[in-house]
Amino acid sequence: MTSPISLTLRPSRFIKTLFAASILFAAAAQAAEPSVSFTAPMDGAVVTSPFDVKFAVTGMEVKPAGEMAANTGHHHLLINTGPIAKGEPIPMDDTHLHYGKGQTEAKVTLPPGKYKLTMQFADGAHQSYGPALSKTINITVK
């Protein structure tokens, strides 16, 4: 008498790992928080004045000041000061530079010295998105 043959297909360990990794990657991509960064100058750079400052943002869209739409805003450059608390208006003075036309780069003129530059993203009413959407670097102007 012949016994019945049972065939069970089992996915390989590689396929299981690949499937799990793809799920984790997709979840991480969806959960990625918006962020800002400097593309120029880099932290620790030595520059001559005037120098180029280039801003980047991910997970948000750059729009001019005055436009109030979800997930949009514009850049500010804070000189020798840190991030502004979420919801607080960004002052308008010599140490809080506004790029309300939606600029993503600017020429900045500073006298020689060491500086802390903080990029702060804010909504159309210049209200800060807080430290989560800020980035600070240190530079030296020759």
Dmax (CA) for the chain in angstroms is 96
Cα dihedral across residues 46, 52, 53, 58: positive or negative: negative
The predicted pLDDT at position 98 comes to 97
Question: Which of 121, 117, 102 is closest to 33 using CA atoms?
Answer: 121
Q: What is the pLDDT of residues 64-101, one digit of tens each?
A: 999 899 999 999 999 999 999 999 999 999 999 999 99
Q: Where is 30: in which H helix or E strand?
A: helix 13-31
Q: What is the pLDDT of residues 42-60, one digit of tens each?
A: 999 999 999 999 999 999 9
Q: What is the DSSP letter of 1?
A: -
Question: Which of 78, 80, 79 is closest to 88 using CA atoms?
Answer: 78
| Rounded-to-integer distance, Cα 115 and Cα 80, Å | 6
pTM: 0.78
The predicted pLDDT at position 35 comes to 97
Question: Which of 128, 57, 141 is closest to 98 using CA atoms?
Answer: 128
Confidence bin at 134 (pLDDT 50/70/90)? very high
| Rounded-to-integer distance, Cα 97 and Cα 77, Å | 5
